[in-house]
Structure 1
Amino acid sequence: MKTNESDISVKIKINDSSLLPARQTVGSAGYDLSACLKDKTSILIQPQEVSLIPTGISVEIPIGYEMQVRPRSGLSSKNKLIVINSPGTIDSDYRGEIFVPIMNLGDKDFEVTHGMRIAQILLARTETIDWKIVTSLDNTDRSAGGFGSSGTH
């Protein structure tokens, strides 16, 4: 449901036990994704292990947009959990269930439970590129200086 003129409608399919992605505050950019474990009580992620956490939702992203999957800062800083391909991209033509690949960088097992907020999603505009093949590029102060060439501070 659109609440103002800048809102974009996105179709979402949820199963009976999944939670709708939700912003936690009016100023939140991202919508929190929750784990949907259906018949499981939890998923244990051991140190240095990656687990694909199901969310129970599928979306129909409008053409010209992508959905980015990002870590939740509190979950990352307090528990050393990261979304390994962050930011992950969900393309506009993908219609399957969204899974979140979470890696435990800590030294203790981490238990993901049903309904736990595990990541956040943002809708972002994308552009198509019209590649122009040239024989040279304009020079800049940095030019081909490489990574770190703009200074250390």
Structure 2
Amino acid sequence: MSDSFVVEIKRLPNSEGLPLPQKMSELASGFDLYAAVEEPLTLDPGQRALVPAGLALAMPAELEAQIRPRSGLAFKHGITALNSPGTVDADYRGEVKVLLINHGQEAFVIERGERIAQMVFQLVPQVRLAEVEELGATVRGAGGFGHTGTR
């Protein structure tokens, strides 16, 4: 196995009785997050809500946590993470929350303990920006959206 990192996780008072984030299979890349709502939360079509996960993290500087939608909620109900992937920076110590939106045609009720998103840890390279007068040429050049094809 390659390098491993320790991510500290703190349960917040609203997470009492909920599981810690967990992978649902051995090779899963994401840890499922659970809704730490005090009472059911109804998302009407087109409505969005910031849903608490009941935890805070402390990560090494080399990591970020990406908050991503759960494919089952998206496919079955049209529920997705609005700012996907959301980023939890290594220096953030507040509660992890998930911005969900209902793109479906029916109201959706988020129950306490429902799996609402997944959290994937990614390496963050240390990058230094260098201002220059000119950039090196490429075949593509400044070709932007749709530049490589019509479909």
Taking structure 1 as the reference length, the TM-score comes to 0.91
CA–CA distance in structure 1, aligned partners of residues 100 and 53 of structure 2 = 12
Paired residues, number = 148
Code of the aligned partner of 1:115: G
1:18 alignment counterpart: 18
Mark the runs of 5 or more structure 2 residues left unpaired by the alignment: none
Does the 8 A contact of 1:17 with 1:56 survive in 2? no
Code of the aligned partner of 1:30: G
CA–CA distance in structure 2, aligned partners of residues 7 and 131 of structure 1 = 28
Code of the aligned partner of 1:56: G
2:66 alignment counterpart: 68
RMSD: 1.4
CA–CA distance in structure 1, aligned partners of residues 4 and 17 of structure 2 = 26
Taking structure 2 as the reference length, the TM-score comes to 0.92
* Aligned partner of 2:126 among 125, 128, 140: 128
CA–CA distance in structure 2, aligned partners of residues 29 and 45 of structure 1 = 27
CA–CA distance in structure 2, aligned partners of residues 17 and 55 of structure 1 = 12
Which runs of structure 2 are paired with 1:82-93 in the superposition (5 Å)?
82-93=80-91
CA–CA distance in structure 1, aligned partners of residues 10 and 128 of structure 2 = 34
Percent same amino acid among aligned pairs? 36
Which runs of structure 2 are paired with 1:48-67 in the superposition (5 Å)?
48-67=46-65
